[in-house]
Amino acid sequence: MQSVAILGGGRMGITIARDLSHDLSVTIIDSDAEALVRARNLVPQVRLEQRDLTNNFGHAADLLKEQDLLIVALPGLIAYRILEKLIELERPIVDISFFPENPFALSNNASERRIAVAIDCGLAPGLCNLLLGRHLPEMEVSEYRCLVGGLPVRRTLPFQYKAPFSPRDVIEEYTRPVRLRRNGKEMTLPPLSEPEHVEFPEIGTLEAFNTDGLRTLLTSTGVLTMIEKTLRYPGHRDQIEFLRAAGFLESREVDVQKCKVRPLEVTSKVLEEAWRFQPGEPDITLMRVEISGRVSGQDKKFQYELVDRFDPASGTSSMSRTTGFTCAAIARLMLDEVLVEPGLWPPERIGQNPQMASFVLDYLAERGVIVQERPE
């Protein structure tokens, strides 16, 4: 039986483990004992290991070397440093973390170690990149636009939001400068900039604003205009702007009663409770991808939409479903030796392979995650 180690026992890691453990030997590794207890209750069939990968990576190295595949589902702030060490173990890797570093810096090392490293294999970045990749071989794409977000079904003041993954990673979206491209020109804008209202038939009016989600697309493609925006209920952005203007999202240290504290870390900890989903509380995940360009000399526009909801039968959030199942599908491609070429594999590269792209979309559809395609 093939073996997989999942680094991180949060919501995403547990969803991936549950999906893969039907026919694979799965181990979840986490430093947090409470996270492992939750994992034991939700996926009792998997092996659990408490290891501190950040401060004592060597303690886990022997276990990791035994695996056929490694999956990284860690917070973005520590994931890149862990990835660098994992590549040295010469095991194929699938990653869903949202780290701020340049992922292409890992490319040469992955090639030299003769392993495939698939990065950003979640929803956004992830599935949306794959959809663009499907069109790149035969379409002269001129514009790519992605609107995406996860929301609680029940909308409550003041934030009108709860975090389907780590609040620290959510805040990272709100503070990281936004890189995009317009008419061939690279630009950097403030996060939360250029808000607009958009309509989703099943939901109503939402607000979209700039976030730094294009990542590898800015390097791997020559699409002239590319933008990604995060979706929230109208009013949430104003609350975050207030926190930012007041200094609560600052990473620099300040003195508080002779103690050095970082406002961002305090805010993240406080919001961890305020933004926590209650057990069984439903969420919804929305995505709209628009791709415009020319095919055989004719103007074409394609639109993809996804509306996914909490699964009450398994208690799985929609964000975990859309992110975790995408990751699991790409993990299967590696384990089945379809994706084997050494090097760095951003999801748009996977999408350019028709066999791989179809497999991922079919894998999602079999689990009820349906991407609707609307050619225009």
Q: Which pLDDT belongs to residue 273?
A: 87
The pLDDT mean for the chain works out to: 94
Judge whether residue 376 has pLDDT over 70: no
Nearest to 217 by CA among 154, 275, 146: 146
Kindly write down the DSSP assignment for every residue of 44-63, as one continuous string. Answer: TTSEEEE--TTT-THHHHHH
Rounded Cα distance, 306 and 361, in Å: 12
Q: 55 falls in which pLDDT band (50, 70, 90)?
A: confident
Angle at 242 between CA 239 and CA 243, to 5 degrees: 90
Task: Report H helices in the chain.
Answer: 11-20, 33-42, 58-65, 76-87, 107-112, 127-135, 167-175, 217-220, 236-245, 263-274, 318-335, 347-351, 354-366
Phi, psi (rounded to 5 degrees) for 278:
-80, 155
Q: Which pLDDT belongs to residue 114?
A: 97
Q: 333 falls in which pLDDT band (50, 70, 90)?
A: very high
CATH topology of domain 3-122+319-371: Rossmann fold (3.40.50)
Nearest to 92 by CA among 30, 22, 5: 5
* Rg, the chain, Cα only: 20
Q: Do domains 3-122+319-371 and 127-234+274-309 have the same CATH topology?
A: no
Is pTM beyond 0.75? Reply is yes
Q: What percent of the chain has pLDDT over 90?
A: 81
How does pLDDT run across 217-275, given as a tens digit for each residue? 999 999 999 999 999 999 999 999 999 999 999 988 888 888 888 998 899 889 988 99
Rounded Cα distance, 98 and 125, in Å: 8
Q: 167 falls in which pLDDT band (50, 70, 90)?
A: confident
Q: What percent of the chain has pLDDT over 70?
A: 99
Judge whether residue 9 has pLDDT over 70: yes
How does pLDDT run across 62-104, given as a tens digit for each residue? 999 999 999 999 988 899 999 999 999 999 999 999 888 999 9
Q: 202 falls in which pLDDT band (50, 70, 90)?
A: confident
How does pLDDT run across 131-146, given as a tens digit for each residue? 999 999 999 999 999 9
Query: What is the domain partition of the chain in residue ranges?
Result: 3-122+319-371, 127-234+274-309
Q: Which pLDDT belongs to residue 53?
A: 87
Q: 166 falls in which pLDDT band (50, 70, 90)?
A: confident
- Strand pairing class (69-72; 93-95): parallel
- Strand pairing class (225-232; 69-72): unpaired
CATH of the domain spanning 127-234+274-309: 3.30.360.10
